Chains A and B, each alone.
Chain A
Amino acid sequence: MTTLGFAVRLAWRDARASWRRLGLLTAAVTAGVAALVAVNSFTDNLRTSVAEQAQALLGSDLSLGARAPLDTNAVAMRFVDSLQRAGGPEVAVARSVSLAAMAYVEASGTARLVQLRGVEPGWPFYGAITTEPAGAWAMVQSGAVVVDPSLLTSLGARLGDTLRVGEARFPIAGTVVNVPGEVGLQSAFGARIYVAHRLLPATELLGFGTRAEYDIAFRLPATIDAQAVAAAARPALREARVRIRTVADDRDNLTEGLTRLGQFLGLVALAALLLGGLGTASAVHVLIRQRLDSIAVLRCLGATSGQIVLAFLLQAMGMGLLGALLGAAIGVGLQQAMPALFADLLPVDVQVAASPMAVLLGVGLGIWTAAAFALLPLLGARSVPPLATLRRLTTPPRTRWDGSRIAAILALVASVVGLAAVQVGSLIEGTWFAASVGAALVVLWLASLAVIRLARRFTPRRGSYLIRQGLANLHRPGNQTVTVVLALGFGAFLLTTLFTAQVNLLRDFRVGEEGERPNLVLIDIQPDQRPLVEEVLAREGATATAFTPIVTMRLAAVAGERVSTILARGGASRAPGDTLDEGEGSGLWAVRREYRSTYRGELGPAERVVAGTWFTPADSGRGLTADDPVAVSVEQDLAAELGIGLGARLVWNIQGIELHTVVRSLREVNWARFEPNFFVIFAPGSLEGAPQTSVTLTRVVDPAARGRLQRALAERVPNVTSVDLGEVQRALEAVIGRVVAAIRFMAMFSLATGAIVLIGAIATSRWQRLREGTLLRTLGATRAQLLRILLVEYAALGLAAALVAAVLAGAAGWALAHFVFETAFLLPVVPIAVLAGGLVLLTTVAGLWSSLDVLRRPPLEVLRAE
């Protein structure tokens, strides 16, 4: 008790007398905790909102969904009947169909790709659709449509105008403000149009080859347990290719997804906190150096090393607590801004409220970080000899490598891994994260040592004294190069890497005005419509690339095993295809999905054969029996998913007819390129007689001409959908941009922490700087000259940090482009230069601001104080 009591009193008294210096120790964890509390609290809000709005998200108690009409699906209809028998008249049913289509108004010169949704009365059963004007939704069932506001803008239409979709005409009654369960940014890929289900046939769009999504929503009485009903019916429905969803399924899936998002953003926030931990360690290191005399006196007076370490550890934890509390308060404030940051990305209305758990976790992590990072430098206090009271130490005490130090290092590593594991909810992922952050910091540290070396080597011997002095400060004893490169470099590295990744990810989707890449895709062209399409294209001066035929089909058997058998056993491991079992939702997609395949004799520009040989004239089997198979080429990842290789036999069901095939080659496909790419390509001469549609690409540079062409196509061939790749590119940019903005927002906290650590580093070496400044002024330097020396020093430090960050981010960006996005790497030079300029400015401002004392204090005052 004496030990603890003494340690507490010493910690408090020492802190009270040097609160300003310790304030920086406090601030080191503030930004990290603020970011963590904001993210975790917001994630909690999201979970609560999802739980509260789960029913509105699905809009029903239960829903069926399929790619084919459900009314002709016997299994689905039996299910509907059984529900209606069980629940009687209390069971309400509402059908809806969604499809892509082209829409235009008579008065406008252009047409737009839209997502058309036909809904029966009563849809949705839960959650209110808000429109502008308020009563517009009620008019849908009487023949009007409500549309996304963006459609009015892009078509130049107004409420009351007549919208043409396919062969039907609808008056526009209003615009959609909010649809529960739908993400605002969804409209970027095609404006939404809601129409009465009964009027869909009038569009004449639901013909052969149309890709539509058919749904049936149910409102069930309380006597029916939707979850139990779904569990019982799921196997049979799955075999009939019908999805079944319940409120609980949707809630769980969404909660899981949002939790992952929160965990990921939380890791970015945690990086800021760990950086703050480094700031704490550096501040404690300097603190101990400044307290050497006091520690020696305490040792003389009989304090044990344990008491001294405990006192300073308590002090660091106390400062950590203060910093964490401040951070938590800021985090709760920042949380208010989070919904705006994620606007249009979330399917729920988020009710913002501080989450006590998130606050507690943030404060706990803050204190823990402060303690874990402070302990190692604190152990240096044990090596201070009491003899230092008689003889001033000329060198810092030697580091003692004993059990305590090794234990402290292990505790630090375990803490970092533990903090990450708590945040991400997995020990393995936590370890990976900790290792990555550790590796980044080690590389930054090595780079900072290189900067010091280079500065020593290349500081000019001649020229302006002020510049030489400023540059020499980069390598002289007590320099801040390591701190600045490590602390600010880390934040800048995160931001630059994000930027580089974003640019490289989006670059492949860029169709732009220059170059020869097609910018318009026409899909669902019926064989007899080809001449008409070519004629319309020719009128606008455009030419189509070859028409690529598309035949829809499903797998009937894989390597001799019927798909129904594979599905029945739930895709149990089939070496190496245990990837077949991917769990609920995505599971078994490879055997269950509908394939849109083509046949051709040439390889496309975005693919290459990686195994086997491309088709030869000998590959022209008829496929009607297993002895006479058609040769096919399979995309390599799909082959891995199916667990098949060269020579494997696949049986396909094409509109009811089975076709036997053999895998002749495996292909690598660059899916990022806007080309008609396929999982499976059939040898020519095999599918020509099958029911098919085709797709073609064209290039129309002038946006007005493109609009006219889309409009003409919508009028002449209403079932043909024309996709403007420029629009798709913009939509992708919008989505990726929003996600990256959120990550960048979190990464900014690392930069903020870096700036605080820098200010802390300057403050801790303040006395040395004051002395130097005073001596220079005593020797005749003016304040302006001192200012210029400091300016050169901090600008050079900022530049060094920016260069190191840019080089590392370039390397990380290259690795991402090469290994993850599998695309050629491009270094975005101008944005990186702007970012670097910002970092130089930040370093210089923070440096000069913290050094004002050097300029302000009269020399005599400093000399007297010595």
Chain B
Amino acid sequence: MLRVEGLTQGYHSGGGTLTVLKDINFTLEAGGFLAITGPSGSGKTTLLGLLAGLDRPSAGRVLLDGIDLGALDEDARAALRRRKVGFIFQSFQLIPTLTARENVQVPLELAGEASAAAVADDLLGRVGLGARGHHYPSQLSGGEQQRVAVARAFSTRPDILFADEPTGNLDGANGGVVVELMLALNAEFGTTLVLVTHDLEVAALARRQIRLADGRVVDDTGA
């Protein structure tokens, strides 16, 4: 599903180059569940961004379902994300001007799905927010917002889901609910899960863990 070869990312900073990821290599099979852990500044989020095609690497490549993301322009990568990728973010990233239902509908509508509203209602019901579809994000609690984000992430039944600290802004109880939902939907739809987290308890639920330090892989339970 996901193949990473010699992935390196650096930024120009203060006249020199700051390398935040160095020569990352791994492969993740379809339906797998990978947790990426590491201390702050170790390059976790940068890696996630590259894996999801949100950014281009300085060197190396990411193959998603056999497609080299680096060879695509931004709009082509957007089209690929629309077809195959789902996202969950630490800060929920719901669109504040859309209702919960409309937030869930967006990826479906982008894909030209005619039954977007029905699918969104169904998914909101599954995450326990069936009655809150008409509420705006500002009218929902943090846990509720993240549940809407989970429903949105699974709305197009993506092949792979990237989650960046999905419980980072939630208390234990709400975090637990969100993780359970992710796992249940992962099991139901066979979606590959890639999770960046600080939370070792959440990481422990993954079938494979990669630990980063200073931009390098220091531990890979699947290697």
Given A13-B98, A17-B136, residue A302 in contact with residue B54 (CB < 8 A): no
Report if A251 contacts B (CB, 8 A): no
Contact with B along A635-669 (1 / 0, CB 8 A): 00000000000000000000000000000000000
Could you tell me the distance in whole angstroms from the C-beta of B42 to the nearest C-beta in chain A? 14
Q: Are A298 and B75 in contact (CB under 8 A)?
A: no
B79, B109, B110, B152 pick with most chain A CB within 10 angstroms: B110
B111 with A302: CB separation less than 8 A: yes
B107: chain A residues within 8 A (beta carbon)? 301-302
Complex contacts, A385 vs chain B, CB 8 Å: 54-55, 74
- Chain A, 256-296, CB within 8 A of any chain B CB: 293-294, 296
Measured CB to CB, the nearest residue on chain B to A297 is B93
Q: Which residues of B contact A14 (CB under 8 A)?
A: 95, 97-98
Contact B110 A387 (CB under 8 A): no
Q: Looking at the complex, which one of B54, B55, B98, B110 makes contact with A303 (CB distance below 8 Å)? A: B110
Q: Is there a chain A Cβ closer than 8 Å to B48's Cβ? A: yes
Residues of chain B contacted by A464 (CB below 8 angstroms)? none
Shortest CB-to-CB span from B140 to chain A, Å, is 14
Asked if A72 is at the interface of the complex by the 8 Å CB criterion, the answer is no
Nearest CB in chain B: distance from A298 CB, A: 7
Is A347 in contact with chain B by the CB < 8 A criterion? Answer: no
B81 at the interface (CB under 8 A from A): yes
Contact A304 B78 (CB under 8 A): yes
Q: Does B132 contact A (CB under 8 A)?
A: no
Please judge, given known A-B contacts A17-B98, A305-B74, A307-B110, whether A389 and B93 are in contact too, CB under 8 Å. Answer: yes
Q: Is B49 an interface residue (CB 8 A)?
A: yes
Would B79 and A304 count as touching, CB distance under 8 A? yes
The reply to whether A301 and B54 contact each other, CB–CB distance below 8 Å, is no
| A389 and B106 within 8 A (CB) | no
State A17–B96 Cα separation when bound (angstroms).
8
Q: Enumerate chain A residues within 8 angstroms of B95, measured Cβ to Cβ.
A: 14, 294, 297-298
Do B54 and A18 touch across chains, with their CB atoms under 8 A apart? no
B87 CB-CB contact with A under 8 Å: yes
Question: For the complex, what is the distance from the CA of A720 to the CA of B210, rounded to whole Å?
Answer: 112
State how many angstroms separate the Cβ of B73 from the closest Cβ of chain A: 10
* Contact of A301 with B82 at beta-carbon distance under 8 Å, contacts A17-B98, A307-B110, A391-B45 already known: yes
Q: How far is the CA of A6 from the CA of B106 in the complex (A)?
A: 8
Contact indicator B110/A301 (Cβ below 8 Å): yes
- Check B78–A303 contact: CB distance below 8 A: yes
Q: State A6–B116 Cα separation when bound (angstroms).
A: 12
**Residues 74-102 of chain B, each 1 if its beta carbon lies under 8 Å from chain A, else 0:** 11001111110101010001111111001
Q: Are A390 and B49 in contact (CB under 8 A)?
A: yes
Q: Which of the listed residues A14, A16, A298, A386 has the most CB atoms from chain B within 10 Å of its own CB?
A: A386
Contact with A along B48-65 (1 / 0, CB 8 A): 110010110000000000
Tell me the number of A-to-B contacts counted with CB atoms below 8 Å: 88
Cα distance A297–B85 in the bound complex, in angstroms: 13
A298 to B74, CA, bound (A): 13
Q: How large is the interface on B (under 10, 10 to 19, 20 to 34, 35 or more residues)?
A: 20 to 34
User: B106 contacts which of A17, A301, A304, A391 (Cβ < 8 Å)?
Assistant: A301
Residue-wise interface mask of A (1-31) relative to B, using a CB-CB cutoff of 8 A (1 in contact, 0 not): 0100110011001101110000000000000
* Bound-state Cα–Cα, A5 to B108, Å: 12
Taking CB atoms, residues of chain B closer than 8 Å to A304 are 75, 78-79
CA separation between A301 and B49, bound complex, in Å? 13
Given contacts A302-B107, A304-B78, A305-B74, contact A387 B89 (CB under 8 A): no
CB of B159 closer than 8 Å to a CB of A: no
Contact between B110 and A293, CB atoms less than 8 A apart? no
Q: Which of A9, A302, A385 has the most CB of B within 10 A?
A: A302
Q: How far is the CB of B33 from chain A (nearest CB, A)?
A: 20
Complex alpha-carbon distance, A297 and B152, angstroms: 11
Residue B15 is within 8 A (CB to CB) of chain A in the complex: no
Q: In the bound complex, what is the Cα–Cα distance between A2 and B78 (angstroms)?
A: 15
Restricting to A377-435, which residues have a CB under 8 Å from any CB of B? 385-387, 389-391
A302 & B81 in contact (Cβ 8 Å cutoff): yes
Q: Judge if B164 is at the interface, Cβ distance under 8 Å.
A: yes
The reply on B112 being an interface residue by CB < 8 A is yes
Contact B81 A301 (CB under 8 A): yes
The one of A6, A17, A307, A390 in contact with B89, judged by C-beta atoms closer than 8 angstroms, is A390
Please tell me which one of the listed residues B45, B82, B97 contacts residue A17 in the complex, with CB atoms under 8 A apart.
B97
Output the residue of B78, B99, B112 with the most chain A CB within 10 A. Answer: B78
Q: Is the CB of B79 within 8 A of A302?
A: yes
Question: Do residues A390 and B48 form an inter-chain contact, with CB atoms below 8 A?
Answer: yes
A-chain residues with CB within 8 Å of residue B164 when the two chains form the complex: 390
Does A302 lie within 8 Å of B78, measured CB to CB?
Answer: yes
Please tell me if the beta carbons of B89 and A389 are within 8 angstroms of each other in the complex: yes
B57 to A: closest C-beta gap in Å: 12
> What chain B residues lie within 8 Å of A389 (beta carbons)?
54, 87, 89, 93
Query: Is A299 close to B, CB under 8 A?
Result: yes
Shortest CB distance B34–A (Å): 17
- The answer to whether A2 touches B54 (Cβ under 8 A) is no
A610 touches B (CB below 8 Å): no
| CB proximity of B96 to chain A, nearest CB, Å | 7
A357-384 vs B: 1/0 string, CB under 8 Å?
0000000000000000000000000000
Residues of B with C-beta under 8 A to A299: 74, 78
Question: For B45, what are the chain A residues with a Cβ–Cβ distance below 8 Å?
Answer: 390-391
**Shortest Cβ distance from residue B81 to the other chain A in the assembled complex, whole angstroms:** 5
Chain A nearest CB: distance from B75 CB in Å? 5
- Please, how many angstroms separate the alpha-carbon atoms of A9 and B114 in the complex? 13
Partner of B54, one of A293, A294, A300: A300
Other than the known A301-B82, A302-B79, A305-B78, what 20 A-B pairs have Cβ atoms closer than 8 Å?
A: A13-B98, A14-B98, A17-B96, A17-B136, A18-B97, A293-B93, A294-B97, A296-B93, A300-B52, A301-B107, A302-B83, A302-B111, A303-B82, A304-B78, A304-B79, A307-B110, A385-B74, A386-B74, A389-B87, A391-B45
Closest 4 A-B residue pairs measured CB to CB? A302-B82, A17-B97, A2-B112, A387-B54
Instruction: List, sorted by A's number, 29 A–B pairs whose CB atoms are closer than 8 Å.
Output: A2-B110, A5-B109, A6-B109, A9-B109, A13-B97, A13-B99, A13-B102, A14-B97, A16-B97, A17-B96, A294-B95, A297-B95, A299-B74, A301-B82, A302-B78, A302-B83, A302-B111, A303-B82, A303-B106, A303-B110, A304-B75, A304-B79, A305-B75, A387-B49, A387-B55, A389-B93, A390-B45, A390-B89, A391-B45
